[in-house]
Structure 1
Amino acid sequence: MRIGLWMSAILYITNLFPFTRQWSYQISNILITSFTSPILTLGKNPYSLTELIVLVGLLFGLVIFAGTLTNFLRSRILSFTVINRGAQEAIIILLKYGLIFIGTLVLLQIWGLDISSLTILASALSVGIGFGLQDIAKNFGSGLVLVFERPIQVGDFVEVGEYTGIVERIGARSTEIRTLDHVSIIVPNSRFLEKEVINWSHRNPISRLHLPVGVAYSSDPKAVQSALLEAASKHPNVLQTPLPLVLFKEFGNNTLNFELLVWTTEPNKQFLLKSDLYYIIYEVLKQREIEIPFAQLDLHLRSGQLEFTPEMQLALIQMVERLSNQESYIDSTDPIERGTEGVDI
């Protein structure tokens, strides 16, 4: 648009003066010829630059129309239905790309472009697209698999590698995950199919959490079990069906190791739930005088007599004599010890 405004201003100014009017006509004829003369022939139909620009504008308008329509459908219709969020997003994605595909075919037919004439061009570009855009094609295919098989859905709480968060959007090429810190992570779709993904919300949102606890060796295991179960019963987000469970894991180096197993329907809040439970566990163990030890090391020195061999005794005597001789030599050379004889005052 900026270039067009500059060209229009130049042509208008040059057309005002007689000696530059001829240049204005020549430039105008060159521009008109450039935009109206055929530059591409598909089949029997020639197409000019202006016609191609109009076609690109119509296709761009089609994409905007499909996005606006699907957003209206999501916010005004599907949001009031009983369909879950993942199914709503699947319907939106299929409808959006279906409208774009069908609309593109209709526009090309109305424009008079024979679809069969594009087969030669498509075959010529297929090798280049296969090598240059293979990652995009792989991610696009993975996106279709995610939409149809639905191993993950919008709203699921997932772990992908080092990232943990809620799935906000499943696109054609990538998926958006919002972490617990409200940071959006864009993950390629192929990663969900090539690597292991933990989906805490898949089919059954009820999940079990593990909380390891270590106590001193002087503690009664039954009392520890009762204390941990009491702590689990005090939290409202811990399910009582299935019941919480306490496992005696092992005899550790410094502690008796237990593990508290609890069930929850909100796995996306598991970090807050674990923190609350540890607060409660600490208070309950403190009330019942159950010690939580820390790692420590006891060093015991055995008492007795240290015996020396004759060789060791001789070596020690020689070392003591040598040290005493050195001290006597230092004392004899000290000017303070020698006094002030021979010094004129």
Structure 2
Amino acid sequence: MVLSCVFSTGSVSAQPQQTAPIIVDGNPIFEVSPSGQFTASQRADEANRILREIIKDSKSPVRVEIDSNRDLPVILVNNSHILSVTSNDLPKGRSITEQAKIWQQQLAQAIEQAQYERTLSYLMTATLISLAVLLVAFFITYQLEKLWHRWIDPLLERANSQVLLTETGQPLTQLPTQPRPKIQVFSEVFLNLIKGLIGFISIIYVTRLFPQTRQLSYDFVNLIVNSLVADLVTLGDKQYSVLDLVFLIAVLIALVFFARTLGVVLRSRVLSFTGLSRAAQETIALMANYTMVFIGAIIILQLWGLDISSLTVFAGVLGVGIGLGIQGIAKEFVSGLVLIFERPIQVGDFVEVGELMGTVERISVRSTEIKTLDQISVILPNSRFLESEVINWNHRTPVSRLKLAVGVAYGSDLSLVKNALLDAAKQHKEVLTNPPPKVGFVGFGDSCLDFQLLIWISKPNKQFQIKSDLYFIIDSIFRKRGINIPFPQQDLNIESGKLQVEISPELINSLTELSQSLAAWIKHQTNSQE
């Protein structure tokens, strides 16, 4: 019912006006109605044109008279025909003569005021008032900004810090490279809106002081309004203006936000108490969101007066567009539907796609958001999950097996090594007892005996942390039990006890000459010291 009233009001506002105003320097004086073959706009436009020329060219007082010698009273300005007063212009209980006299007085006062506003004394006064208004507006905005940064910003910052401390237990510590909190951005935007509003009001007031600028502003506003309400698009047998389209788009956007909010409420207030998994909750909330948007859009279009069957041409054009220009979007949309209904991955799953590894946070019809182990959100197109190899550690069951390679020195007691590895696995709380941990003797390595510890975990997104913890525990147990972990080394053994080396005659001669020269130099140094 509310939507019906809203859309009916919008349709009424789009109807053509039954009256049109008589304007003097941007001030509406009175309104005229259609008469005979002339519309209200035609009568008003002609009268306004004549009045504008008379006021512009006249220096002496203007005469506004009524010619009663005709079938209908005619209002004359300096003997120029302005308009005739007809029965359509009359309100209830008023005669044509009375209406003509009222309009005569209103026109005379408006023209007298227009001539006064063109005098030098008025223009000087209006100029001084304009400067004063602009200075006051500048002073108000300047002081407002100072007071805002002195009082409002610290108050908002303290409130934001208190909220952050309550939610996370950590105080707000903003680094220069970090983005500003949303509440600070909102504060700046709101302050700029207030300053802009003050400036806008000041400019409007100044333009209202001068007849020329007042007329220009009125014409500009009138042009904008006429452009908004003029028929622009034809769908079926109805025509719609820009204002109608803007109103429709605003209602559809409000529908999308309402559906999204309702989906969040459904997930947090209803589905969270059903015991369903997080993935099932996300899927139900997402389907409810899109269903509400689809049904709501159809209802709104019908209430708007649009025949749904008239959209067949638009659907055909959209199909051609999909085939030519938006194949990628359509491809991602279809991939998103496959992910939602077939559910190879779900929200909360720990997946590995190429070099990326992280938890699925959100699945939409176009893309999927993954939060990596570094807490970085990565947006991936849905088609990537269908076209490339994806490792889902949580598919069907979150239980996964990890392998830890361990090497010990040759000569170690194998039973002692096995028991040490099993004890290390038992000490970690994230290692499952069913299936139990196992130790395998892999083989003889180049410098160590290779073992493999096999464990089962239920939180694959913590596998790297679990591996690190286990290696710390294994190292501690090995040190306590005297088990050595070797490092790679190579030994060179000579079986005969002598190393046979062949030296060429040239090298022997060179070494002999070098030794003789060295002996002679040493002898010379000795004699010189004596």
Q: Which amino acid aligns with 1:313?
A: P
Correspondent of 2:477 among 284, 292, 303: 284
Instruction: Name the residue aligned to 2:508.
Output: 316
User: Residue 252 of structure 2: SS of its match in structure 1?
Assistant: helix
Instruction: Name the residue aligned to 2:438.
Output: 245
User: Residue 454 of structure 2: SS of its match in structure 1?
Assistant: strand
Structure 2: 5+ residue runs without aligned partners? 1-192
Instruction: Name the residue aligned to 1:46.
Output: 239
Deviation, 1:280, is 2.1
Structure of larger gyration radius? 2
Deviation, 1:15, is 4.9
User: Residue 77 of structure 1: SS of its match in structure 2?
Assistant: helix
User: Residue 284 of structure 2: SS of its match in structure 1?
Assistant: helix
Correspondent of 2:343 among 129, 150, 154: 150
Instruction: Name the residue aligned to 2:331.
Output: 138
User: Residue 239 of structure 2: SS of its match in structure 1?
Assistant: strand
Instruction: Name the residue aligned to 1:343.
Output: none
Instruction: Name the residue aligned to 1:342.
Output: none
Instruction: Name the residue aligned to 1:267.
Output: 460
Q: Which whole-Å deviations, capped at 9, do the CAs of 1:184-214 have from their partners, x for residues lacking one?
A: 2222222222222222222212211111101
Instruction: Name the residue aligned to 1:303.
Output: 498
Q: Which amino acid aligns with 2:429?
A: P
CA distance in 1, matches of 2:449, 2:293: 63
Correspondent of 1:229 among 416, 422, 427: 422
CA distance in 2, matches of 1:109, 1:269: 52
User: Residue 417 of structure 2: SS of its match in structure 1?
Assistant: helix
CA distance in 2, matches of 1:180, 1:321: 69
Change (3 A) 1:7 1:128: farther
Instruction: Name the residue aligned to 1:341.
Output: none
CA distance in 2, matches of 1:104, 1:323: 103
Instruction: Name the residue aligned to 1:97.
Output: 290
Change (3 A) 1:44 1:285: same
**Matching of residues 1-345 of structure 1 within 5 Å:** 13-300=206-493, 303-306=498-501, 312-313=504-505, 316-317=508-509, 320-321=512-513
CA distance in 2, matches of 1:22, 1:165: 64
Q: Paired residues, what number?
A: 330
Report the TM-score, using the length of structure 1 for normalisation: 0.83
RMSD over equivalenced CA pairs, Å: 3.2
CA distance in 1, matches of 2:231, 2:246: 13
Which stretch of structure 1 is more off in the superposition, 77-86 or 172-181? 172-181
Deviation, 1:266, is 2.4
Change (3 A) 1:9 1:120: farther
CA distance in 2, matches of 1:17, 1:42: 44
Structure 1: 5+ residue runs without aligned partners? 338-345
Q: Which amino acid aligns with 1:146?
A: L
Which stretch of structure 1 is more off in the superposition, 230-239 or 252-261? 230-239
Deviation, 1:252, is 1.4
Q: Which amino acid aligns with 1:303?
A: K
Report the TM-score, using the length of structure 2 for normalisation: 0.56
User: Residue 214 of structure 1: SS of its match in structure 2?
Assistant: strand
